[in-house]
A = this chain, B = another copy of it.
Amino acid sequence: MTRHAQLFGPDHTFLGIGKCDLDEPATWADSEAVIMGVPFDGGTSYRAGTRFGPRALRGTDYLPHDGRRPHLALRTDGLYELNTRDAGDVDCFNGDIEGMVEKVGDAVTRIAAAGKIPVMLGGDHTIALPDVQGVARHHGWGRVSVIHFDAHADTGNIDFGSLLGHGLPMRRLIESGAVRGDRFVQMGLRGYWPEPETLAWMAEQGMRCYEMSEMGARGLDACLDEVFALATDECEGVFLSVDVDVVDPGMAPGTGTPEPGGMTSRQLLDAVRRICVELPVVGLDIVEVSPDHDHADITAILGNRVVLEALSGIAARRRGLGWDPTRPLLDGLGR
């Protein structure tokens, strides 16, 4: 079902970590997290290009690609400590969205069923549907909450005549029962979509959505405090879904549906860090990175850092380390 060679370009793993093969469980038996790419943009409603997302997210970094990334502040190395492996790309065809969703669902289900954390590299946001469902199959249907960073709610009903697409997965997820509407949190929304009918549907599901202005007026940490309480109420785990367009397009231009007025890169990294240190994250995806629209790889490396920040935080949580942002960097180091 999967293969190591990347679909669109040369074969390399995420920052040089070891390969594994989903079909050979021994190759990832000792990993706590497994990375897979989904080089797909057939579900996008505007610009394509996210099919090159996995290639860029894996390979964009100025440091040696040696499979090690010690986090400066958290003092953990998520790649190394979690023995993270790269299972390559899901083998999908851009002209067949249904086939893609099925294959991704199978892959995520297998990873989650083995008790590992799937780290899915999009690709467009369509994959959130099989990503979260795959995790929920293992951790409990309706027992996983979702924290979703995005400029867009992605709760549309039908687009281009299809029930699948990058603007629709969150509706499908809630409809399927994989996630309860009132355990679905969205941060960073803004702009002019969706239309009132869809907003009403979202309200009816009990979703909690933070528009940028609310986050600005109340502060990111105050909002996160609220989110954390919600996300852990009657849920066994948290799925973190990060659409890179939650960041302002001025800072992250390499994406397909840019909506001005977003978070800063710093805010996103801080939020991801806190979530992964403080909550039981059971899966994550980073989506909508489109290298064709990027400049000097700044969006790709931001996406790469979202993955590292998350794995570093997960490792810190597993080692029982907390995180205090006011602690001086070198505090307690040295002789």
Assembly CA distance A208 to B214 (angstroms): 29
A46-B8, A258-B297, A269-B260 in contact; A217/B326 too (CB < 8 A)? yes
Q: Do residues B248 and A209 form an inter-chain contact, with CB atoms below 8 A?
A: no
Of chain B, the residue at the smallest CB distance from A100 is B95
Q: Report A188-238 residues with CB < 8 Å from chain B CB.
A: 189-193, 195-196, 199-204, 207-214, 216-218
**Does the CB pair A46–B62 fall under 8 Å?**
yes
Cβ of A333 under 8 Å from chain B: yes
Assembly CA distance A293 to B13 (angstroms): 25
User: Does the CB pair A261–B305 fall under 8 Å?
Assistant: yes
B161 x A325 contact (CB < 8 A): no
Out of B59, B68, B72, B209, name the residue touching A329 (CB < 8 Å): B209
- A278-316 residues with Cβ-Cβ distance < 8 A to B are 292-298, 301-302, 305, 308
Q: Would A72 and B325 count as touching, CB distance under 8 A?
A: no
CB-based nearest B residue for A305: B260
Residue numbers in B under 8 Å from A252 (CB-CB): 250
B94 touches A42 (CB 8 A): yes
One of B203, B204, B214, B332 near A327 (C-beta < 8 A): B214
User: Assuming A44-B94, A261-B266, is B292 touching A292 (CB within 8 A)?
Assistant: yes
Say whether B192 contacts A70, CB under 8 Å: yes
A266 to B260, CA, bound (A): 7
Bound together, the chains give a CA A52 to CA B94 distance in angstroms of 16
- Please, how many angstroms separate the alpha-carbon atoms of A330 and B186 in the complex? 11
